[in-house]
Amino acid sequence: MMKIQNKIQSLLNITAIIDNAKCFQWVRELRWPDGVHCPHCSSDMIVKNGRDVTQSERQQYYCKKCSRYFDDLTGTIFEGHHRPLQIWILCLYFMGLNLSNQQIAQELDVHVDDVHRMARQFRDGVITLKPEVGLKGNVECDEVYVVAGHKGHPDAVKKKGRKGRRNRLKGAHGRGTLAKEKPPIFGMIQRGGEVVIQMLENVKQQTIFPLIQATIAPGTMVYTDEYDIYNRLQEWGYEHKTVCHSKGEYARDEDGDGFHEVHVNTMEGFWSLLRSWLRPHRGISQEALPAYLGFFEFVHNAKKRGKRLLESLLRLFLTDQSGIH
Residues in contact with Zn ion by CB under 5 A are: 38, 40-41, 43, 63, 65-66
Q: What is the CA radius of gyration of the chain?
A: 24
The residue (of 40 and 123) whose beta carbon lies closer to Zn ion is 40
> Comparing C-alpha atoms, which of 316, 322, 313 is closest to residue 94?
313
CB within 8 A of 231, min separation 6: which ones?
205
Q: Shortest gap between Cβ of 29 and Zn ion (angstroms)?
A: 21
Q: How far is the CB of 30 from Zn ion (least distance, A)?
A: 20
Nearer to Zn ion among residue 68 and residue 232 (C-beta):
68
The CA distance from 7 to 20, in Å, is: 22
> In this complex, which beta carbon is closest to Zn ion, that of residue 5 or of residue 67?
67
Angle at 66 between CA 65 and CA 68, to 5 degrees: 120
| Residues 6+ away with beta carbon under 8 Å from 216 | 134, 135, 136, 139, 188, 222, 238
Residues 58, 109: Cα–Cα separation, whole Å: 23
Of the pair 68, 83, the CB lying nearest Zn ion is at 68
Three-state secondary structure string covering 2-28: HHHHHHHHHHCCHHHHCCHHHHHHHHH
Nearer to Zn ion, 65 or 120 (CB): 65
- The CB-of-78 to Zn ion minimum distance in angstroms stands at 20
Q: Which is nearer to Zn ion, 74 or 86 (CB)?
A: 74
Q: Residue 48: which residues within 8 A CB-CB, separation 6 or more?
A: 59, 60, 61, 62
Shortest Å distance, C-beta 34 to Zn ion? 16
End-to-end CA distance of the chain: 56
